[in-house]
Amino acid sequence: MNDKTLSLYVPAVTPFADDLSLDLGRLVAHARAVLDAGAHGLAPFGSTSEANSLTLSERMAGLEALIDGGIGADRIIPGTGCCALGDTIELTRHASDLGCKGALMLPPFFYKGVPDEGVYDAYARVIEAVGRNDTRIYLYHIPQMTGVPITLPLIDRLLASFGPVIAGLKDSSGKWENTEAVIRAFPQIDVYSASEAMIPQNAATGGAGCISASANVNPAGIRRLIDALGTEAEATAHRQVAAVRKLFESLPLIPAIKAAVAVQHDDGAFARVRPPLRQIRPDHDAAIAEAVALAAQASG
């Protein structure tokens, strides 16, 4: 029996103006829309948010705009992991000072093949430099992008050193066996799957829910699945979220998500991406339209 409260956090896309500067108005509008549709919170400024194409000042300004826009800081887990320790410390301290629920933290990811000891040192130095006992860190495992895995021995050592400061983990590996292993080894932390299609397994094993890119488009459907777990409606809800997810997995993910959000808001500006990403090609329009139509089934 899972005694955790399952939650959906949306890694909100980052809208850009014509000159590719941060569009704070659209950022807040989209964030409020996904929360109104049923998401429990936000996980902005991670991979889906193009965080590594943003400056530190942009990330901090975006977080402040969300809070100033009426979104409770206790509903936000911003991404703060950077290659430079000083940058990660600055972003994490900023999020902690604002009262955010926690910080979703990539390991330093430029150097590959580093030992667990080096990754431990990086996390330890950030935690010690921030120096707040109420800081909560959510480890971010996405080895196909970083080349730096968050291993079970590393999690074990961090927990032994820092206890409740290590609050959870987002597993974006796409491998359920890894997510399951983390949940079973460390039931005291909150483990989130990056695919909503894994929510039933996540919940049954003792996980905490989902942080999914496609929640930008289908928050109502994913929330409906969470609420339907264990009922006759679960199978139907799962088919809907799995179908939406499958469509996006066949497309360039971030441009496709932003294109679908643009259709939903009836505002083409949401489709803008920063280089090196490129906006979605017209030959993907049919798949985008199908994903939006499937998402509308849950929100209608």
Residue 138 a catalytic site member:
no
Answer whether 216's CB lies under 8 Å from 244's CB: no
Catalytic one of 9, 138, 170, 192? 170
First to last CA, the chain: 32
Edge-first strand listing for the sheet containing 137-141: 41-42, 7-10, 209-211, 190-193, 166-171, 137-141, 103-105
The beta strand positions in 77-211, using DSSP E, are: 103-105, 137-141, 166-171, 190-193, 209-211
Residue-wise DSSP of 219-276: HHHHHHHHHHTTSTTHHHHHHHHHHHHHHHHTS-HHHHHHHHHHHHHT-GGGG---TT
142 in a known ligand binding site? no
Catalytic one of 9, 123, 138, 140? 140
Residue 140 a catalytic site member:
yes
67 in a known ligand binding site? no
Feature table: binding site for pyruvate: 48, 211
Binding site: which residues?
48, 211
Known catalytic residues? 140, 170
